[in-house]
Amino acid sequence: MPQPFDPGYVAEPFLTLCSDYPGADVYPSQEFRVEWGPIFHRGRLDGSARVLVLGQDPAQHETIVRRILVGEAGRRVQGLLARLGITTSYVFVNTYLYSVYGSVKAATRRHPALVDYRNRWLQALLVGQQVEAVIALGQAADGAWAAWKATPQGQATKPAYAAVTHPTQPESSAGGDRTRLALATARMLRNWNAALQALHPGLTHPDAPVPLALYGDAWAEGDRLPIPAIDYPAGLPAWMRDNDGWAARKGADETAKRRNITLTVSKGVVA
């Protein structure tokens, strides 16, 4: 049975973007896990994208798969896109090429080489293309969009835009407290509902026209969707696509955690 996959960076300007990228001189190792290399995108690079999603930075699952937003956050965003009628006509890029380690200093965020390189991706995906809407996940992504909009190309590009709460912000803010998690999730879903109401009318070419349906105050069945195989490189095992939580940074101290990502084959795959 044929297995769909992402053919990769087969055409310009993406060939050059993936061979000429900033390294540790722009992304300091004290702020980023540059030792695991850059991770560039997920989704369509053939000009068919109708929605661009701007994320923050790759985590451990993305490091192994070499595509961004393939963990829990990606599955939640996949559900958000489906409510807009978008099932495959999207492209994802991140604010940062490398995984953030700790926090990012203001001087690094504003580094001209970092900003200019990211803007080259946005130019390739937006200028002369058919993207109708842009969604920024979190404050860092909103800032990246603002930097792009300050450029002449950005000023001339006018898709519908929404900055939304990052999809895993409830967990990161709750500190393991169930009550706080429920409240933070409800706040985030209200924020996402506002974005849906703003973006839905402007998407005139969805993959599948759907009536506007808003979230409730908590996650429901169908809100978290699988990521299509066509978004992944060739030969990726199905359990990496179908499950989450199979990659973890482990070690006795922070240095060991930086050096190690432990992979565990999902239950049921091996007898």
Is pLDDT at 231 greater than 80 in this prediction? yes
Inside any domain, residue 259:
no
**Is residue 2 a part of any domain in this protein?**
no
CA–CA separation, 78 and 85 (whole Å): 11
CATH number for 38: 3.40.470
Residue 249 lies in a domain: no
CA distance 96 to 38: 9
Domain count, the chain: 1
- At 7-31, the pLDDT tens digits run 999 999 999 999 999 999 999 999 9
Would 270 be classed as within a structural domain? Answer: no
pLDDT in the model for residue 242: 80
In a domain, 69, yes or no: yes
Query: How many C-beta atoms lie closer than 10 Å to residue 249's C-beta?
Result: 17
The parent domain of residue 110 ranges over: 14-213+225-235
| 265 in Cβ contact with 239 (< 8 Å) | yes
Give domain status of residue 218, yes or no: no
User: Using CA atoms, how far apart are residues 257 and 239, in angstroms rounded to an integer?
Assistant: 24
Residue 271: inside a domain: no
Q: Is residue 146 part of a domain?
A: yes
Render pLDDT for 165-182 as a digit per residue (tens, 0 to 9): 999 999 999 999 999 999
pLDDT band at 88, cuts 50/70/90?
very high
CB atoms within 10 A of CB 173: 16
Tokens matching residue 113: 């080489």
Contacts of 70 (CB under 8 A, 6+ apart): 42, 61, 62, 227, 231, 232
